[in-house]
Structures are given as C-alpha cells and as structure tokens.
C-alpha cells in the first residue's frame, strides 16, 4: 500500500484574549491539517501543532519537498520514510520547522497504517491501556487578573472534569508567582493534580527560590524551570535542590535531545511533543530511552495524538489540553468526535488510526493557504 498524495492545510483562528505564558503571547490558534491518500484510496486526516508563526512555511515544505520525496513509498516502511524525510534537515533551512513538517507527514502515515489494518495507533504502539488522565494548561497571565480569579479558573477546570492543571509561572518574581500558586492550591479539591510550568523563565537560583517557597504544597512537577541557553545543566542543578520532580522536553526536536536530558539527570518526566519532534516514529525512540532510564512520559499539548501515545506505554502519565472555553477552538469544536473527560480521564478514540473526525466547514473557513 503506497503513498499517492499529501495535502497540508494551515489553519489560523483568532482568539479573544492573550493566552500567553512567561515568555510568549498567544493571540491565535493555529494548526496544520494533513490529508494523506494512498493509491488504494485510504485517506488520513489529522491535525498537528500550534504553529503560530510559520504554518504556511510548513505546508510549503510538505507540498514541495516531503510529499514528492515519499510518493510511492510503502506506508508500512515507517523507518525508511522517516529517514528519507529527515535527510533534508541536515543541509537545509531551520531544523525546527523541518521537524514540524516531518511530524505532520509521519503522523498521517501512522494514521493511515491504522486504517489499513483496522487498528488504533494505541494498539500499534503497544496498547497498554485504553484510557488516560487529562489535565488542562492554565494560570495565564492577564491584565487585572486577581488571586480570586485564579481560584475561579481552577474551579472551572475541575468542573470541566480535568484531573488537574499545569499552572503558568516564571513571568513574575519567585515571590509573586508563589503567591499565585498558593491561590491555585487553595482552590483545588482533593485528587486535583497541580504542577507548575515556568516556560524557561528563570535562572537556576530563581527557580530554586521559587520551589522552596512552595515546597510544603503537593506539586506534581516543576516544568522547564530555567532559561533556554543552559537549561539542561541548570535543570539538573534545580532537580537536586528541590523536593518535587522536574519535567522538560517540549522544546526538544529529536530523541537525541531527550537523551541529553536523561543523561544529565535533569528530568523525572519527559514531555517531548510528537508534533514538534518529528512524529510518532522518533517519539517511540524517546519513549524507549525514558523507559530504560526510569523516566516517566508526559506530553506537551496535542491530546488528539498524545492520547494514543501516552496510553500505549507503561510509563505514560498525563495528556494535556486547553479546557478554557476560549483558548482552543480546534480542541473545543473542530475535533468533532473528541472524547469527553469524566473524573479526570478520557477514553482513547476507538476508530482506526488516530480515529479523528474533523469539521470540514471549520477547516474551510479558517484555512489560510
């Protein structure tokens, strides 16, 4: 069964508020819809990423380079296909953008493989469980937001049947963000997980200071505590100095980057993002590295894909979403058969491949290419 054609569609949906973190702004929801067709007529339709700045460039790479390169290849030759695509990253352009484009194609291939054999991607990867806990990203910095508003936000996520919240920190002083986290902690009920994410916003000294200010709280993990330029070494230092686990990986674009995190003793969790890091084929390598090292797997966003990955392996933990009703219209509306969270857990979609059903009218309305 061979690849006939690949279409990539860039989607941009304006948001009503700025849902930014410590080091970035979010004013629109962007993604890439990929449709891969085989010579026998099977069609994959998935979406990947939140490519706010370069969605059109990703589509151009897919249409002009990757699709012609893999046309005619057997869909089950995943390693050969991935190797052929990855060869373009060695000499040409921005590697991060290349890996995002490769991820779109690679995930579409895994989707169509599942459709070819009547199996979910969860089953193709190991099928360890059929449901997975889900948490919401939150704690956004917004003008005029009070500590009471933070409490209301946390209660909103609990009412949305989330298992917990990954709370934004790193944008203020350690003392000010510790106060915000305490407000979130006071609002959560029993069995509601709370972790914190600095988005590489602090030095190691600031991160340690912050962690010690909240060390009496039950914090599941401290994500990306330190600035990007020496984050692995700084994070290892932070991990040794604080009382709760560390998590990183969403900014890594290869399994080699994940290996460096593990080798440095910098992480207890790895949340490498399948849509940023070359797709399912290389995610499997990262997962295997972490399993051998006793490091647990989380996942940065992308619950439409992550539901199958994290549930397939024994060291999988949580998937993420944006449960705020205005943050992610793709998750809220475009993914029409999205499983509903119940008691903090979602059942993995059961259709073949990734089992996604998408709103074609919404795709047509917001496509920009």
Q: Are residues 262 and 312 in the same domain?
A: yes
Q: Are residues 245 and 148 in the same domain?
A: yes
What does the alpha-carbon distance between residue 114 and residue 103 come to, in Å, rounded to a whole number? 17
> How many domains is the chain built from?
2
Q: Are residues 97 and 135 in the same domain?
A: no
Q: Are residues 45 and 141 in the same domain?
A: no
Count other C-beta atoms under 10 Å from residue 25's C-beta. Answer: 11
**Residue 321 C-alpha from the chain's centroid:** 8
The predicted structure's pLDDT at residue 19: 87
Q: Are residues 68 and 174 in the same domain?
A: no
Indicate which CATH number applies to the domain containing 67. Answer: 3.30.390.10
What does the alpha-carbon distance between residue 59 and residue 66 come to, in Å, rounded to a whole number? 10
Report pLDDT digits (tens) over 306-348: 999 999 999 999 999 999 999 999 999 999 999 999 999 999 9
Q: Are residues 137 and 87 in the same domain?
A: no
The predicted structure's pLDDT at residue 93: 80
Q: Using the CB atoms, write b or e for 146-158: b if 16+ within 10 Å.
A: eeeebbebbebbb
Dig out the tokens for 189 from the structure.
């009920």
The predicted structure's pLDDT at residue 157: 98
Q: Are residues 227 and 90 in the same domain?
A: no
The structure tokens 């972790």 sit at 195
Q: Are residues 154 and 268 in the same domain?
A: yes
Contact 308, 288 (CB under 8 A): no
Q: Supply φ then ψ for residue 136, to 5 degrees.
A: -105, 140
Question: Residue 101 in 3-state DSSP?
Answer: helix
Name the strand (E) or helix (H) holding 197: strand 193-197
Contact 148, 178 (CB under 8 A): no
Indicate which CATH number applies to the domain containing 201. Answer: 3.20.20.120
What does the alpha-carbon distance between residue 155 and residue 238 come to, in Å, rounded to a whole number? 30
**Residues pairing with 133 in the sheet:** 345
The predicted structure's pLDDT at residue 23: 80
Q: Are residues 72 and 158 in the same domain?
A: no
Low-confidence residues of the chain, pLDDT below 50? none
Q: Please report whether residue 238 resides in a domain.
A: yes
pTM of the model as a whole: 0.96
What does the alpha-carbon distance between residue 176 and residue 194 come to, in Å, rounded to a whole number? 17
Q: Are residues 17 and 145 in the same domain?
A: no
């Amino acid at each position: 069964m061979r690849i006939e054609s690949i279409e990539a569609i860039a989607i941009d949906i304006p948001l009503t508020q700025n849902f930014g973190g410590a080091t970035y702004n979010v004013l629109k929801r962007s993604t890439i819809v990929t449709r891969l067709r085989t010579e026998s007529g099977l069609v994959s339709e998935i979406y990947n990423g939140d490519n706010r700045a370069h969605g059109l460039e990703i589509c151009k790479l897919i249409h002009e380079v990757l699709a012609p390169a893999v046309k005619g290849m057997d869909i089950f030759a995943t390693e050969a296909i991935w190797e052929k695509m990855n060869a373009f990253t060695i000499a040409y352009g921005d590697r991060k953008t290349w890996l995002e484009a490769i991820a779109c194609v690679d995930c579409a291939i895994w989707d169509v493989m599942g459709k070819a054999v009547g199996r979910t991607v969860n089953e193709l990867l190991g099928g360890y469980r059929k449901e997975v806990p889900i948490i919401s990203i939150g704690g956004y910095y917004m003008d005029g937001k009070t500590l009471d508003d933070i409490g209301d936000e946390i209660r909103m996520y609990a009412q949305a049947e989330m298992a917990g919240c990954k709370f934004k920190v790193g944008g203020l002083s350690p003392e000010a963000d510790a106060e915000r986290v305490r407000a979130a902690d006071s609002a959560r009920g029993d069995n509601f997980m709370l972790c914190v994410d600095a988005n590489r916003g602090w030095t190691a000294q600031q991160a340690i200071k912050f962690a010690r200010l909240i060390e009496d709280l039950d914090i599941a993990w401290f994500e990306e505590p330190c600035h990007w330029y020496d984050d692995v070494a700084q994070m290892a230092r932070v991990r040794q100095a604080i009382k709760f686990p560390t998590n990183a990986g969403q900014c890594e674009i290869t399994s080699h980057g994940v290996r460096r995190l593990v080798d440095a003793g910098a992480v207890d969790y790895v949340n490498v993002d399948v849509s940023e890091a070359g797709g399912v084929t290389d995610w499997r390598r990262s997962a295997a590295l972490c399993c051998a090292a006793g490091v647990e797997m989380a996942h940065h966003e992308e619950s439409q894909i992550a539901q199958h990955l994290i549930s397939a392996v024994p060291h999988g933990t949580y998937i993420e979403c944006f449960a705020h009703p205005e943050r992610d219209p793709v998750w809220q509306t475009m993914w029409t058969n999205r499983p509903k969270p119940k008691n903090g857990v979602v059942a993995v979609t059961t259709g073949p491949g990734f089992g996604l059903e998408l709103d074609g009218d919404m795709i047509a309305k917001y496509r920009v290419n």
